[in-house]
Amino acid sequence: MKIPSRCTKSLGIETPIIQAPMAGGTTTPELVAEVSNAGGLGSLGAGYMAPAALDDAIDDIRSLTERPFAVNLFVPRPPTEDAERVERSNTRLDIFRGELGIERPVPPERYAPSFEAQFEAVVMARVPVFSFTFGALDVTQVERLKDAGSGVIGTATTVAEAVALEKTGVDMIVAQGSDAGGHRGTFLHPFEQALIGTMSLVPQVADAVTVPVIASGGIMDGRGVAAAFMLGASAVQMGSAFLLCQESGANPAHQRALLDEGAVDTTVTRAFSGKPARGIRNRFITDMADLESTLPDYPIQNAWTKDVRAAASKQRQPEFMSLWAGQAARLGRQTTARQLVADIRDYLRSV
């Protein structure tokens, strides 16, 4: 099939496959660089990184590739502090802490790294591509990135969000379907009103904006990529498929869960972070389910569940880990980033 060239030309890459940014250590510099070296665009999920760590990771990527890569941040929305909600959630978390053999930690000094400081670090680093989710940047921020030589990619989960992002001057828009693994990028609507599948969302966004559209959510192999192109996308952004790659930093227990039959049972939950995200249903999600509507906002809940998630990861205890995965994750297979990109390219050439 004819491979669309709008994104490849503008990003300076060969194949319109973007390895999704996946904050929390999954998108190692090795994974990012390997995808870029294979002709796609690797992305560093830097949403949880302090500026110094971000700088180091960017240096590491640059030492591994001369090709373009992306860095991704979370656009913040100030949370409402509610001590009662925090206590209610913590009382439930204490049960998990007991099982994991840890104590409730002291309150965190801050709930998340400063976005302003992260943003300055990225502008100073003059990264080839900057992508973001959870909100919109203002026009001045987009201009600063462009002046620094960075291509700018925003994330939309509805047509209205895509139109709003285009008005800020972004170069491209990720259309994130409800099938997608990880956090919902929704910022203009209650999340329940923005659960539109990739197949429905992509053509509507492609009709509504003039900038290139990047399809994301449930795309695992060449078939999904070809379908996305037919729907009007100029590139794809794939997360779950790259979680299983050798270079990924995903916890082995997470990778095992993805390969299990149970990976078909994903759900959207606020339990881990306070923000809706899609992952494999486990005990943490079901035991927190009755608190869903009264949990602290993101990133407060995220900060308070950190000790539980960290202990569970260390103990390889998947029932208390955030096992982010898209609805098609079961199609994933263990491979290398280079092979995954090459297989998709071969498939596209064959159809």
Nearer to ligand FMN, 295 or 321 (CB): 321
> Judged by CB under 6 A, which of 40, 296, 299, 326 binds ligand FMN?
326
Nearer to ligand FMN, 86 or 225 (CB): 225
Q: Is 61 in the site for ligand FMN (CB under 6 A)?
A: no
Determine the distance from the C-alpha atom of residue 112 to the mean position of all C-alpha atoms in its chain, rounded to a whole number: 16
**Measured from the CB of residue 116, what is the shortest distance to ligand FMN in angstroms?**
18
Quote helix, strand, coil % in the chain, to nearest 5: 45, 15, 40
Alpha-helix runs per DSSP H in 209-294: 222-230, 240-243, 252-259, 283-288
For ligand FMN, the binding residues in 139-158 under the rule CB under 6 A are: 155
Binding-residue pattern over the window 279 to 298 for ligand FMN, x denoting contact by CB under 6 A: --------------------
Q: Is 219 in the site for ligand FMN (CB under 6 A)?
A: yes
Tell me how far apart the alpha carbons of residues 16 and 133 are, in angstroms, rounded to a whole number: 20
> Judged by CB under 6 A, which of 217, 222, 318, 332 binds ligand FMN?
217
Residue type, 116: E
Range in contact with ligand FMN (rule: CB under 6 A) among 33-41, 100-108, 206-214, 238-246: 238-246
In the chain, which ranges are E strands? 17-19, 42-45, 69-74, 129-133, 151-156, 172-176, 182-183, 213-216, 235-238, 266-269, 277-280
For ligand FMN, the binding residues in 173-192 under the rule CB under 6 A are: 176, 179-183
Q: Is 72 in the site for ligand FMN (CB under 6 A)?
A: yes
155-171 burial by CB neighbour count: b if 16+ within 10 A, else e?
Answer: bbbbbebbebbbebbbb
> Judged by CB under 6 A, which of 324, 332, 337, 348 binds ligand FMN?
324
Reading the block at residue 207, the tokens are 């009709």
Q: Is 19 in the site for ligand FMN (CB under 6 A)?
A: no
Tell me how far apart the alpha carbons of residues 285 and 321 are, in angstroms, rounded to a whole number: 9
Q: Is 328 in the site for ligand FMN (CB under 6 A)?
A: yes
Q: Is 47 in the site for ligand FMN (CB under 6 A)?
A: yes
Closest CA to 73 of 125, 35, 33: 125
Q: Is 7 in the site for ligand FMN (CB under 6 A)?
A: no
How distant, in Å, are the alpha carbons of 47, 284, 314 from that of 133? 9, 25, 28
| Total number of residues that touch ligand FMN (CB under 6 A) | 28
Residues that bind ligand FMN (CB under 6 A): 20-23, 26, 45, 47, 72, 133, 155, 176, 179-183, 216-219, 237-241, 324, 326, 328
